[in-house]
């Protein structure tokens, strides 16, 4: 059961590592009728692209290496969750005993923070409000 008094949200994106950015972009454009929303150099290394709709997307990242031999599930980097109230969401994460990190803002764009859940799964929480 959901808490009607807590922050409301949805999955905004899932971030995946891919071996061939062009190949993956083309697959999701053809398979789902999605469009390329953004493609740019990554701030640290490689490049990334957002492929999807106006509301949600896959964030694809590539450093040019072959990642096809990784164990199942490993290429997932994080799940992006969109909320209306970022401060309330951060309180919920802290109250659960988890530690938010990487608080910031993408220019121009959302405020954001990250956290790891109890199983080590990384989540990015974003708010455009």
Q: What is the pLDDT of residue 57?
A: 92
The whole-number average pLDDT for the span 10-37 is 89
Q: Which of 52, 58, 49 is nearest to 13 (CA)?
A: 58
Asked whether residue 1 is domain-assigned, the answer is no
Asked whether residue 3 is domain-assigned, the answer is no
Q: Which of 79, 77, 67 is nearest to 16 (CA)?
A: 77
Q: Tokens for 13?
A: 């994106």
Q: What is the pLDDT of residue 77?
A: 81
Q: What is the DSSP letter of 5?
A: T
pLDDT at 49 > cutoff 60:
yes
pTM: 0.68
Q: Which structural domain range is residue 58 located in?
A: 9-64+74-127
Asked whether residue 2 is domain-assigned, the answer is no
pLDDT at 119 > cutoff 70:
no
Asked whether residue 106 is domain-assigned, the answer is yes
Asked whether residue 4 is domain-assigned, the answer is no
CATH number at residue 27: 3.10.180.10
Q: How many domains does the chain have?
A: 1
pLDDT at 40 > cutoff 70:
yes
Tell me the per-residue pLDDT of 87-100, one tens digit each, with 9 for 90 and over: 999 999 999 999 99
Beta bridge partners of 36: 51
Distance CA 111, CA 124 (A): 10
């Amino acid at each position: 059961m959901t808490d009607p008094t807590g922050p409301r949200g949805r999955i905004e994106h899932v971030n995946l590592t891919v071996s061939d950015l062009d190949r993956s972009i083309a697959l999701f454009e053809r398979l789902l009728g999605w469009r390329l929303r953004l493609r740019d150099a990554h701030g640290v290394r490689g490049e990334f692209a957002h492929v999807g709709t106006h509301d949600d997307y896959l964030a694809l990242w590539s450093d040019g290496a072959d990642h096809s031999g990784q164990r199942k599930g490993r290429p997932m980097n994080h799940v992006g969750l969109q909320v209306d109230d970022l401060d309330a969401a951060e309180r919920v994460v802290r109250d659960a005993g988890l530690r938010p990190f990487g608080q910031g803002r993408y220019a121009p764009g959302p405020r954001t923070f990250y956290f790891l859940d109890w199983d080590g799964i990384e989540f990015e929480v974003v708010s455009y409000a």
